[in-house]
Structure 1
């Protein structure tokens, strides 16, 4: 390939210069030459150099003129010349090879040809060429030119460069300028590259002075052809010329965001709304206060205190209605509670049997670890597209990557010793054998062209051969190769761009790069045996690098180097290790919650009464019920073939514990209250029955709401979320069923044990002379009654609290759009994982984005209409063809995330057929056009494809093959290997990019490869995914005959973010509707059900706002946690709401709100808030970042938000606008405060409660408490 890449530099050998050391010594005027013919070479193996010849131009004979016109054009039909036949032969041979690269853009080709024809043959050569040095050929003893100055005008130079700079070399997703100009960024660099003397470049030095200070030389400055030339025969296609491309519509990403100052319009609107509401409330309060004061003054009335009876008659609501369903549920749970308490062992036995039978399904237990099956539904677009791609083109390669930098990150890594160490490391990796099957890199690597593995490393500039790496010349060679990678090809014969092998440099200052990048590419396969072999070698590679970094390699000292790495299987291995580490944190968290719950259920008394009144065993039984509900759900769904995920294993016990412990506390506290009132008068069975009769409907309400809400989540397609929703729904319902049966039985047994003075946990032992049982109100409940409830329900406090909560809600709502999407891989890893450093280096140093393939399927490209929908380099291609759209999108890479030119196989294929490219498509004569010639076959033994074809091959595509002929030539093209003479051959670049269907005479599928820009953040990956799909939709829209979809290896993991917001909205909507329906049905109040739903929405909103502020992104894990938040929110709210609705007959909202706090507030606080709080604290000390971010932060947020809304805001809202109350049966009267010994001999009625919430503030409430 080196010959091809250096061929453009050889044109200078056709030039002859006169010997001159100053302009005045020689003739520099029109009609004079400075060279003519060849006079020998510098060495025996060197190339022919030109003869100095400062004489008039010659008149060519007929044969020479014919050849001159044929090669250089009609401008030489009547002119003199400075070149001979040998020079023209060399010129023709070389330009034919260069034509394969640049003929796709006629303007560039014409300028290129004119430039070198003028250099070699112009009759006015002496006006722009000046010899600066000459030598003597040792072969011929003749004078030869060794260096010249070539004066080129800016108009020509800039126009020449502009016409060629955008021409693509599709096979490498690069530019032709990389080959003909060394990747030049302007015409000065392009010309300097062409003139640089080097062994594989120009045989002598050509300089291009920028300024001519003399009046003798006249720069060559003929008007060049433009790529958008008005002459259509020179006009280039959109792919190679930006000026002729169609203008695409702006994308939404290009539109500026709506801002008011530094605030988004959304946030500004919310804050403005809140300010208006706040001002309206303040104004109303002032007006109301002024009006009331003036009204009394005007009317002359004096407020007189009412008697209790008068006050009650005025403030009492209409007698509470009876709600039949409530009475029915109370009666049902009363009967069930009585039976379970009367026959506890039978109840426990039946429950245990059912749980045991269900748990047998765990024999089919499987954990789903494949991330593809976790996050993507099998019928999703990305999953089907990945399967289609893998089946037709093979799975994407397995990548192993190493970054090497200095311990001191500010120092350059480019030095002789470091690169030498890299040679040794690579050699040892090549010799590395896996255990136990002894696989080597050579066995497993990807080899697109011959036996050479793709290893992208700076050592490739020296063909990975340490003997070529010289201490004296390495730096110059490094600079030369990074400037022109095409001239320093590695053994796998593909250019190594500096961006691929170096990192941490600026402005192409490669010598000061901060990192070396080493990449190995292994084959991938659908065959599990091949995958296992690759994994085995990758494990050996990891072990080798671990020892190298750890200083265990005696051959190489890397103590001053920082090495980070990753293999294809590294992430999965580290994630599994993280899970194994986190299991201990999870277990400890659950144990803390279990221990707290067990202790909190009992009452603190003096020894030895403590060991009797404690309820540790009851707490353990409640925890066993929680575990039994989880195992039941796992057993049933395992039997149904629904696999457990790590999210389920880690989260479901947490959820069920949150729900279950709350219900346990509610039942236990209600039982304790009944015991305080009627101990010694009513049997345990009767008290248990009344307890379940009162609290059973409330527990049913929360359980049914959560079960339905979670169950509806099962309709979503994302497997991780769907499976979680199904498991959670069943586990919560089983937990409820066991609590109202088995736990009631345990509660009955524990109560009887306690009344018989038996020791907790050791019921066989009874304390004979135990102290008398002290029945008193619990401390938490007392605080709720005496201090918390009066304070919260004070009128002024209520106003302030409502204003604050609305403000917090509005603020949270303003932050919701700022919640980022994605899951950073670093967060999912242990904090000390070696991959964390690797990902940091990847972001800091790697400058190449992942490849992206635009795949066509079910499309007949053998017809001309289909060909026009794909191509980009022919005049009749559709203006918005696939190639043209992708090229235009590349030019706005800030929104398209497309960085490189696209490999368009059909353009290269058709140009390979071009008969003017005589070294490309050639058949061996006598083989019936079935066997191709290679570069070494004699021209006389070959016939050129399409040479005598009718219609002829042309740029309008009228002479292109179709149908069976198309497939015939396509097959030959895909078998031909690229070489110096024809780089357009398709085997290396497109061998696995096209799937032919010979039976149906079509191309079944093909892909068009390009590269994304470097993607650093999750937002970049999501935006790149979105952009690629937007582009494919545009292609399909503009070309209805084709079906295109984009594919990149990471797409399948990011599809969820295309719909995760709508998915979350769908789940929440269904959950909220189901919660409203169930609460309305069981409470008998649609309005109260609406209030509950509003509070759950506010809790979710607050959590989302905290996620935005605390750096918690939205993904499948956080979405599952948000679904949990719905359940936690219901737990915080529905018990308070039901206690408010069923709060006694004929009492106003304020008293029912007061009673709801006192009756169940303490249970909610101790049962769910404090239990979860202690368990969450443990998560703060986890080694896993994912637990710290997605569990600790989110759970803290949801528990705190839920507690504040359920225990603070909800009672206030209910006291202000709560729904109408309903009465309970006579056996379930909620007025438990009528006990004269406890509460001063009178019940708390409306008049008392009014005093608690009047304008007098907390003082009046406290005095009332003292009076009681």
Structure 2
């Protein structure tokens, strides 16, 4: 048929009017049938979801064992380069706890630390150091017991030369503060009896003279390293350390110094405590959602009042959380703390769909049977909420592609729960609508379920009429009496928005919005600040503040590793290694004077000892002698027989005081290692967290691009208008740009937490625009302004209800004492605000600019008949009918036209 000329003309005309409903129509028909079945058997669809939810909800029994809150596992990229580098370094250079040096740790280690800040400005004064030494004495004497055996710090400390690793400043004092006046500290390297010692990690806020002599220092940091092999005993001691510091029985009171403390357990403990603090907010959220839903659905008609319907709509969202979470917990899916945000979001999605269904129910004819009313409701509403559900679910499932487990976990749980939310809306909530419809059909009171009169007796008061009379409807339409807010959108807002001057203002407003958003996108910061994983009043926040204020001058001490065999005895190879190390020193983030190379020390040692190390035998045979003189360097060479499998050097980074510096430093170091002629790997334990900077932007863009393409495909399939689908896709891009830009204005970084919210943004930015677009293109009126007004009339108030309910669902998170939950609120507020504004202002106005897209999809009857008959093999039948069509009288012409196309007027 497509090949024939008459139909080709019809096809081109149909394409010009841009309607594609090959998927939409069967979906409408299927859901209409489902609505009829639900209306016929509401109790089955009411009770079965309850039993299913109860069964799946028992999966919460496995919640404890499914919890996955390890910070490194959840908030660093899966398969990040630093994790492979750590494995390599740990394999070649295992930690030696008897000759321990902090810079050679391949992990964060097991430790406790405190920072003392002198309020007068010099921590090296005798009075200030006396307080520091008193704290040190209390800590060293902390005694705990494990399995009946008492032990203290001295029993579990990491050692060097048989003693616990000391703090260089306190060691120089000889535990006597009065020696401070006679001591001269050189910064950042101080020479001691055992060799040069780096003070950059011990003293902060340092002022020196031209010779590097310390004049004053504002802070001192004392670290107590423990044996990693003594995990259980170390953990017990560390918890006692924290108890002593936060308790009132610590035995010391600070007069001069401010003290903050931290342990290797602190970050994880405080992160896990975050989720417990947000649990009380759930009850507030659901109360607000139920309250708003009931209030917004209240009517002064005691029969048409839908307070119970609204309450059950919120309950339906709760059932979906119970079912979705329970199912995945049964399957053993990890439950990250970020998933705690999900119920707030699900509540908003479920209530939004509820309002759409109620709005469509109110458009049905009151005198029709409940089955017919529910079938019509499903026909009108279910496709719309199917579009938004598909877009939301796929947006979340696409988010599983991200390399952050915290995002993967959130997206998996939320996407599955959104699916359950949809299923419960078209079953359980549909049954609630049907049961409520039966109550309305018999004209029963919304609360007491007793029959009430439709007309108020003359002798009754207004109060009686308000409380005990109901069941009215609009005789002209047969539907329920219009809600005042629907009339507002029809009579006031719609005509105002479609006014030419208003459209011009909306275009200007959008231009300003877009300009501000794009500017903000260039201001956004990357990466998660680890202090933000704790709640605001956590003790570790103060420690991080002190660390950032006084110890940011010197950053990580980075290992430069040669991970394979090279001929170190070859002069050319040694020169290549020296050149590579020299290139590292020339980088802006590297201190040229603080690098450490065992190879350079070995060359100087050989030169002084008059030893020739230019042959393999001589080089290898003299290494033991060198290591006896410099025992620390033995840990930097992996020697097996006469083969050096790997070796490492150290370079000191400086001025790493923000995320941009961290990212640039890591990128420059790895690029330099790649460009070197000698195979090199750079590593520091902090790189595990720095890796997020290398993937966060690319993965965010990738997810958004894939999700947007999928959203476009779904819109094309379910919205019967390709051009309007492009507007929905435009809304996605526009909202994402807006949210990303305004994130920067609201001090929200682009990190794995905000990435979750941008995934949400993809789904939510579709919702409001899809509702309006679908209503617009489904409208049969010829004028674009009338179509826009009708779309706003039907869906304007439900969109406002959905937006407000969703914002209420997350509003309590604004009061949370946690960056994670506040960030969720901020971005959701932006998403819903911008999404609703697109749906209520930008998209309706922009749709009216394309009249072609707004015209009805009907061809004139002659064209349509010609197309239909041309598809038949019997051309004579086509010609005979066309002659009859053209020559008949007006009455017969109308009759034949109706037979050919019952939709024709």
SS in 2 for 1:826: helix
Structure 1 or 2: more helix by fraction: 2
> Structure 1 residue 644 and structure 2 residue 345: aligned?
no
Give the distance between the partners of 2:820 and 2:596, measured in 1 at CA: 40
Is contact 2:21–2:718 with CA below 8 Å preserved after alignment?
no
Which residue number corresponds to residue 581 of structure 2?
886
Q: CA deviation at 1:1098?
A: 0.8
> Structure 1 residue 446 and structure 2 residue 446: aligned?
no
Query: CA, structure 1 residues 1222+631, in 2 after alignment: closer, same or farther (shift >3 Å)?
Result: farther
Which residue number corresponds to residue 592 of structure 1?
288
Residue in structure 2 matching 1:401, options 98, 106, 113: 113
Query: CA, structure 1 residues 378+330, in 2 after alignment: closer, same or farther (shift >3 Å)?
Result: closer
Give the distance between the partners of 1:1059 and 1:1121, measured in 2 at CA: 17
SS in 2 for 1:1134: helix
Give the distance between the partners of 1:375 and 1:570, measured in 2 at CA: 16
TM-score (norm 2): 0.83
Is contact 1:1092–1:1134 with CA below 8 Å preserved after alignment?
yes
Query: CA, structure 1 residues 332+439, in 2 after alignment: closer, same or farther (shift >3 Å)?
Result: same
Which residue number corresponds to residue 795 of structure 2?
1160
> Structure 1 residue 620 and structure 2 residue 620: aligned?
no
Give the distance between the partners of 1:752 and 1:997, measured in 2 at CA: 85
SS in 1 for 2:471: coil
Is contact 1:414–1:511 with CA below 8 Å preserved after alignment?
no
Which residue number corresponds to residue 713 of structure 2?
1077
Q: CA deviation at 1:1156?
A: 1.0
> Structure 1 residue 1207 and structure 2 residue 837: aligned?
no
Is contact 1:849–1:1011 with CA below 8 Å preserved after alignment?
yes
Give the distance between the partners of 1:701 and 1:422, measured in 2 at CA: 64
Which residue number corresponds to residue 35 of structure 1?
none
The Cα offsets for residues 878-933 of structure 1, whole Å up to 9 and x where unpaired, read as 2xx3x43333332343xx3456533222333344445x427xxxxxxxxxxxxxxx
Which residue number corresponds to residue 580 of structure 1?
276
Is contact 2:32–2:375 with CA below 8 Å preserved after alignment?
yes
Which residue number corresponds to residue 234 of structure 2?
534
Query: CA, structure 1 residues 439+385, in 2 after alignment: closer, same or farther (shift >3 Å)?
Result: farther
Is contact 2:350–2:422 with CA below 8 Å preserved after alignment?
yes
Which residue number corresponds to residue 1180 of structure 1?
814
Which residue number corresponds to residue 670 of structure 2?
1029
Give the distance between the partners of 1:664 and 1:487, measured in 2 at CA: 73
Q: CA deviation at 1:591?
A: 3.3
> Structure 1 residue 564 and structure 2 residue 207: aligned?
no
Residue in structure 2 matching 1:1125, options 761, 785, 788: 761
Give the distance between the partners of 1:1134 and 1:868, measured in 2 at CA: 68
Which residue number corresponds to residue 603 of structure 1?
298
Give the distance between the partners of 2:778 and 2:805, measured in 1 at CA: 27
Query: CA, structure 1 residues 463+452, in 2 after alignment: closer, same or farther (shift >3 Å)?
Result: farther
SS in 1 for 2:261: strand
Query: CA, structure 1 residues 672+430, in 2 after alignment: closer, same or farther (shift >3 Å)?
Result: same
Q: CA deviation at 1:1110?
A: 1.6
Q: CA deviation at 1:736?
A: 1.4
The Cα offsets for residues 15-71 of structure 1, whole Å up to 9 and x where unpaired, read as xxxxxxxxxxxxxxxxxxxxxxxxxxxxxxxxxxxxxxxxxxxxxxxxxxxxxxxxx
Q: CA deviation at 1:972?
A: 5.8
> Structure 1 residue 794 and structure 2 residue 499: aligned?
yes
Which residue number corresponds to residue 170 of structure 2?
459
Q: CA deviation at 1:433?
A: 1.5
Higher mean C-alpha displacement, 1152-1161 vs 376-385? 376-385
Is contact 2:294–2:311 with CA below 8 Å preserved after alignment?
yes
CA RMSD of aligned residues (A): 3.0
Q: CA deviation at 1:800?
A: 1.6
SS in 2 for 1:682: coil
1:329-478 paired onto structure 2 within 5 Å: 329-365=27-63, 366-392=66-92, 393-394=94-95, 395-396=106-107, 397-406=109-118, 409-436=119-146, 438-448=150-160, 450-464=161-175, 466=176, 470=178, 474-475=180-181, 477-478=182-183
Q: CA deviation at 1:1024?
A: 2.5
Which residue number corresponds to residue 102 of structure 2?
none
Query: CA, structure 1 residues 432+1099, in 2 after alignment: closer, same or farther (shift >3 Å)?
Result: same
Give the distance between the partners of 2:650 and 2:219, measured in 1 at CA: 26
SS in 1 for 2:206: coil
Which residue number corresponds to residue 742 of structure 1?
428
Q: CA deviation at 1:1199?
A: 1.6
Q: Mark the structure with the bigger radius of gyration.
A: 1
The Cα offsets for residues 241-260 of structure 1, whole Å up to 9 and x where unpaired, read as xxxxxxxxxxxxxxxxxxxx
Give the distance between the partners of 1:659 and 1:794, measured in 2 at CA: 32
The Cα offsets for residues 732-763 of structure 1, whole Å up to 9 and x where unpaired, read as 22221221122111111122234445565776
> Structure 1 residue 861 and structure 2 residue 547: aligned?
no
Higher mean C-alpha displacement, 1009-1018 vs 340-349? 1009-1018
Query: CA, structure 1 residues 359+897, in 2 after alignment: closer, same or farther (shift >3 Å)?
Result: farther
Query: CA, structure 1 residues 1004+592, in 2 after alignment: closer, same or farther (shift >3 Å)?
Result: farther
Q: CA deviation at 1:801?
A: 0.6
Higher mean C-alpha displacement, 1113-1122 vs 1191-1200? 1191-1200
Is contact 1:321–1:1222 with CA below 8 Å preserved after alignment?
no
Query: CA, structure 1 residues 745+484, in 2 after alignment: closer, same or farther (shift >3 Å)?
Result: closer
Could you list the runs of 5+ residues in structure 2 that have no partner in the other structure?
1-14, 96-105, 454-463, 474-480, 859-905
SS in 2 for 1:405: strand
Residue in structure 2 matching 1:1005, options 646, 656, 677: 646
Query: CA, structure 1 residues 751+514, in 2 after alignment: closer, same or farther (shift >3 Å)?
Result: farther
Query: CA, structure 1 residues 714+617, in 2 after alignment: closer, same or farther (shift >3 Å)?
Result: same
1:117-136 paired onto structure 2 within 5 Å: none
TM-score (norm 1): 0.60
Query: CA, structure 1 residues 654+1127, in 2 after alignment: closer, same or farther (shift >3 Å)?
Result: farther
Moved over 6 A (4+): 317-322, 765-769
Which residue number corresponds to residue 538 of structure 2?
833
State the structure with bigger RCO (CA 8 A, min sep 6), 1 or 2: 2
Residue in structure 2 matching 1:517, options 197, 220, 223: 220
1:950-989 paired onto structure 2 within 5 Å: 953=612, 959-961=614-616, 969-970=622-623, 973-974=626-627, 976=628, 978=629, 985=630, 987-988=631-632
Q: CA deviation at 1:667?
A: 0.4
The Cα offsets for residues 744-792 of structure 1, whole Å up to 9 and x where unpaired, read as 11111122234445565776x6669931324321121111111100000
Is contact 1:1153–1:1215 with CA below 8 Å preserved after alignment?
yes
Give the distance between the partners of 1:996 and 1:863, measured in 2 at CA: 12
Which residue number corresponds to residue 685 of structure 1?
371
Is contact 1:899–1:1013 with CA below 8 Å preserved after alignment?
no
> Structure 1 residue 812 and structure 2 residue 517: aligned?
yes
Residue in structure 2 matching 1:851, options 557, 565, 569: 557
